[in-house]
Structure 1
Amino acid sequence: MKKKVLSAALLAAFGGAVAFWILTAPGSLEAGAARAQRAPNAERGEQVFWAGGCASCHARPDAEGDARLELAGGVELRSDFGTFVAPNISPHERDGIGTWSENDFANAMLHGVSPEGEHYYPAFPYPSYARMSLQDVSDLFAFIKTLPDVEGSAGEHRLSFPFTVRRGIGLWKLAFMREAPVVPLGEEASEAQRRGQYLVEGAGHCGECHTPRNFAGGQLYDQWLAGAVSAEGEGVVPNVTPGEGGLDSWSVGDVAYYLETGFTPEFDSVGGAMVSVQKNMARLSTEDREAIAAYLKAVPARPNGYPSSR
């Protein structure tokens, strides 16, 4: 009897291990699948670069001016799971992504999978980038390849077990990644609102900071953009829905002007981590900033997603 119980337990354990291995397998594009409809265009890719906030994490900490185009990495993102270090993504062949193919880049952006077939940690905001078009990803890659080669590794993440086991991120992806739009805009939505949705929910990855998360780090989509305790545990990221406590008193023009200049309707100025984001937004076209504002004023209003005492 004991042998039968032991055999059943071992069989169940083996079956569980096989199921885990299958469910957590990194998904990726087939070879050649990353070819966009149009030829990659670096000029268009520059706009995607600023919309995606690439310099905020991958430029050296506190970089200014043209130095924001030197993607040496090194920004540290501290969290409850450990400290993540943004890598060098310059075109340097040894220390950056200079040997990557278009498929490698698309797999990283859209699936969170490395050229070696490993999961990336979602501190890299691929859960949002997964909503980007293949064309934008292709254009972005073309632009990054025009930037300076930067020598040197940014360093390794500093994590403790079990977060060092990347394979488990496959389960996280199954539970929390969604490529579908977060907000179901109706047929009456304007072109500007739809463009703004694409920028906010995709490349701009605004929800990565402005949306509360659960214990496992998954976004609480029913509190989309309601504000959150900072991922680093100090301070809060504000509510940017159109309800009370958010952008209720701001017009579309106010939001667009803030993204361009960093000044609020109350003549306050941008601060904290938003300083770098606003610098990125200022590089977008006027139409794209207005589209972002139009979308933010169209999302469902939510109460603050963080404790009022923080």
Structure 2
Amino acid sequence: MRTIAKLAVGAVLVAGAVAVAGWVLSAPQRLDETTLAAMGPGDAVRGERIFWAGGCTSCHAKPGSEGDARLQLVGGLELKTPFGTFVAPNISQDPTDGIGGWTSADLANAMLKGVSPDGSHFYPAFPYASYARMKPSDVGDLYAYLKTLPAVPGKAADHKLGFPFNIRRGLGLWKLLYLSDRPVVAFSEGTPDNVLAGRYLVEGPGHCGECHTPRDFIGGPKTGEWLAGAVAAEGKGKVPNITGGEGGIGGWSEGEIAYFLETGFTPDFDSVGGSMTEVQKNMAKLTPEDRSAIAAYLKSVPPHPNGF
């Protein structure tokens, strides 16, 4: 009996140690003061470019909005996934229902660390796993631009998640596996500047990998199949392969990719459809140089067969 009692006590102690370690490792991590200082004062003109590159309206404008209504970031879009239904929040300048009361540091911690002002983890349906690769100065510029947009009252509905996905603390362990500020695709020294600029736009603010890369069973991106296409997050439909591999866009030239991002027309005269329609509207707001850089990067990433 003594042996059994000792084993039981040992098991309890081990379980307790594991629980404590998990609690410590899953704690939200905020940005340090050096990173926050690198944000600078922010410039709204530059911030508008980041706003469109980041696709903020695609999720946070009221579904179906057109024209200036796309700048009313009241939220409400529902993303139904195997983990539950995520609802895009109001990120307008309303101080109660939106983020009008946020500081620039609050926005930076949200985008680069996935941490809310109250210190809890955001769900990665908010694509901070990509935004983590952004320059702090770009987040500062985005903050300045968001301050120019209207305050729209109306609190979005809560997420609809079951156990264990409603336990936010566990996201700290998910972040240990998938949250990094390092580029996904490593290029050799001497890579053209426009390819590197495209990498930043695609892997960072553009968060293209969030939809175009397949995911594992806990929702982490399979970076070994980067941009190879995936089953849509909603579980219906497929997001296309945008590498040069079989089933991808290897037959498209850089010019054709850039033209598609500008106009929505493919080389075979088809037009953009589905959720990519909103993304293309955002890409059309960028400069020709930005769209060309994105095209150059996509032509340079490793080719993969379809990931779905």
Counterpart-to-counterpart distance in 1, 2:176 and 2:128? 13
Q: Secondary structure at the match of 2:204?
A: helix
Please tell me whether the aligned partners of residues 31 and 103 of structure 1 are also in contact (alpha carbons under 8 angstroms). Answer: no
Distance of 1:98 and 1:255 partners within structure 2: 37
Instruction: List, as ranges, runs of 4+ consecutive aligned residues in structure 1 with deviation greater than 4 Å.
Output: none
Per-residue displacement from partner, 1:243-288 (whole Å, max 9, x unpaired)? 2311111000000000000000100000000000000000000000
1:249 aligned residue (243, 248, 251): 251
Contact preservation (8 Å) 1:87, 1:153: yes
Alignment of 1:1-310 (within 5 A): 1=2, 2-30=4-32, 33-36=35-38, 38-306=40-308
Contact 2:39–2:138 (CA<8 Å) still a contact in 1?
no
Provide structure 2 residue ranges, at least 5 long, that are not aligned to the other structure. Answer: none
Distance 1:32 1:178, change over 3 A: closer
> Is the partner of 1:34 in helix, strand or coil?
helix
Q: Deviations over 1:62-92 (max 9, x none)?
A: 1111001000000111100000000000111
Aligned length: 306
Once the 2 structures are TM-superposed, how far is the Cα of residue 10 of structure 1 from its aligned partner? 1.7
Structure 1 gaps, min length 5: none
SS at match of 1:244: coil
Structure 1 position 37, deviation (Å): 5.6
Alignment RMSD: 1.1
Once residues 292 and 33 of structure 2 are traced to their aligned partners in structure 1, the CA distance between those partners, rounded to angstroms, is 38
Identical residues among aligned pairs (%): 60
Q: 1:303 aligns to what SS in structure 2? A: coil
Superposition TM-score, scaled by structure 1 size:
0.97
Partner AA of 1:211 in structure 2: T
**Cα deviation code 1:34-69 (max 9, x no counterpart):** 233643100100000000000000100111110010
Q: Secondary structure at the match of 1:178?
A: coil
SS in 1 for 2:242: coil
TM-score by length of 2: 0.97
Cα distance in 2 for residues equivalent to 1:31 and 1:64: 39
Alpha-carbon shift at residue 33 of structure 1 (Å): 4.6
Contact residue 40 and residue 140 of structure 2 kept, 8 A: no
